[in-house]
Homo-oligomer: A and B are copies of this chain.
Amino acid sequence: MTTIRDVAKRAGVSVTAASYALNDTGTIAEATRKRVLDAAVELNYHPNAFARNLKKRKTHTIGVFISRFGGAFYEEILEGIHSVILDTDYELLVCPESRSARRILLHRQVDGAIVFDSKIPDEPLLNLASYHFPIVVLDRALQNDFILPLLLDNAQGVREAFAHLYQQGLQRMAFVAGAEDSFDNAERRDAFLTEAQQHSLFVTVVPGNFTEISGYEAANLILQSDILPNAVFCANDQMAIGFLRAMRQHGLRAPADIAVVGFDDIPLARYMDPPVSTIGTSRFEWGASAARQLIDFLDNEIPFQPQRIPTRFLPRASSMLSGAP
């Protein structure tokens, strides 16, 4: 491996001069600068990132901590993040699991983090932030000068979907909830309950955990009641798909018997039969915002600006009564 020492020797200058020339800092005459740069090319020199990071106390890497690679959900967020990183001189370190997340964060191998993994508890994040380490969280409402929550506007989407159902005269509604520890689930459920209350509707809430199977089981539970709901709101699309599967097995059809709405707009939702009404957002934009704010914070010390990521209701066949708008 060729080092800066070799380059300096070849260019006939001191190591310092070589460093200044390479980094375009300090004061170096144009002629010598050129000589150094040429020498670097000739020797195929590439600075050792570790030595540099050690000295500069900066890694030029941002870490993304998600709970797993799987799922179109994360994909699009990652692509959004990546699209922003591309235009900077930062690297991306993607860590799909909380165990190694701890190690990476503690060893300060990144300059900042984007977190979307509810398995990582709040406490270590707050601790990191207290050392002025910047973090963007996509899955919790933590706030702090060094922590930026960038959350979905869950309530907005729920309101739109609710209105859509209500305007079609559907009044016997049920909500299939997601995982208990999920922030988004709580917001979606609360928004739904608020709407119900404002419209003086009595609604039922059935537990679930975001998996297709839990939606399936929720349906089996609901379908045992004497009076069936005529609209069901699932806290995500997977559960809506499970719910629809159970309905089919009971000989029921959506939306004629029960209108079904999901959340997230996963790709599959559009391909189901019937296509599933859902609430979507631009996940690409979401990731991009996160990266943009983090980079701005790191490079230009622009303070974090909390904001909500807009969501919108996407009406599809699973909840459109024939003759409805």
B-contacting 9-mer, from A97-105, A157-165, A310-318:
A97-105
A109 near B273: Cβ-Cβ < 8 Å: no
**Is A47 engaged at the interface, CB distance under 8 Å to the other chain?**
yes
**Is A79 engaged at the interface, CB distance under 8 Å to the other chain?**
yes
Distance in angstroms from A38 CB to nearest chain B CB is: 18
Distance in angstroms from A268 CB to nearest chain B CB is: 6
**Is A228 engaged at the interface, CB distance under 8 Å to the other chain?**
no
Residues of B within 8 A of A95 (CB): 91-92
Closest to A82 in B: B96
A1 near B108: Cβ-Cβ < 8 Å: yes
B49 near A108: Cβ-Cβ < 8 Å: yes
Total copies of this chain within the assembly: 2
Size band of the A side of the interface? 35 or more
Closest to A78 in B: B69
| Residue in B46, B92, B109 whose beta carbon sits within 8 Å of that of A106 in the complex | B46
Residues of B within 8 A of A1 (CB): 108
B86 near A75: Cβ-Cβ < 8 Å: no
A107 near B70: Cβ-Cβ < 8 Å: no
B82 near A69: Cβ-Cβ < 8 Å: yes
Interfacial residues of chain A within 290-309, with CB under 8 A of chain B in the complex: none
Write the residues of chain A forming the contact surface with B, with a CB cutoff of 8 angstroms.
1, 46-51, 53-54, 59, 68-72, 75-76, 78-79, 82, 86, 91-97, 99-100, 103-104, 106-109, 267-268, 271-273
